[in-house]
Amino acid sequence: MSNQELSRFDPWSAVVIALTLGLFLVSVFVKGFTHELLLEAGIFLVSVKLILLGQKNTAFSRATNQRLERIANLLEGAQQPSPRSES
């Protein structure tokens, strides 16, 4: 992963990913490879999906804010009188 990709993840998401993965690995060693492994894997995948969804929402929110700022700047520029001198 590049630095740009790593910077997308906030520290709390990285903590949640690491904690969830750690708990998943502990459960594999404690419970063994039984039918409960599918349940543990499902919980892990749901956690990762929620984190990815949060990252997607954050990226979409940033893009929307940038577009709104550009629109606001355009509107401010249109409202200011032009410095033309009328003769």
Task: Note the pLDDT of residue 33.
Answer: 72
Report the mean per-residue pLDDT for the chain. 79
């990815």: which residue's tokens?
52
Query: Of 6, 26, 25, 3, which is closest to residue 14 (Cα–Cα)?
Result: 6
Tens digit of each residue's pLDDT (9 = 90 or more) over 44-75: 888 888 888 888 888 899 999 999 999 999 99
- Is the separation of the CB atoms in 58 and 86 below 8 Å? no
Distance between CA atoms of 47 and 13, rounded to whole angstroms?
10
* Encoded tokens for 62: 């940033």
As a whole-number percent, the residues of the chain with pLDDT over 90 amount to 17
pLDDT over threshold 80, residue 76: yes
14 or 2: which leads in pLDDT: 14
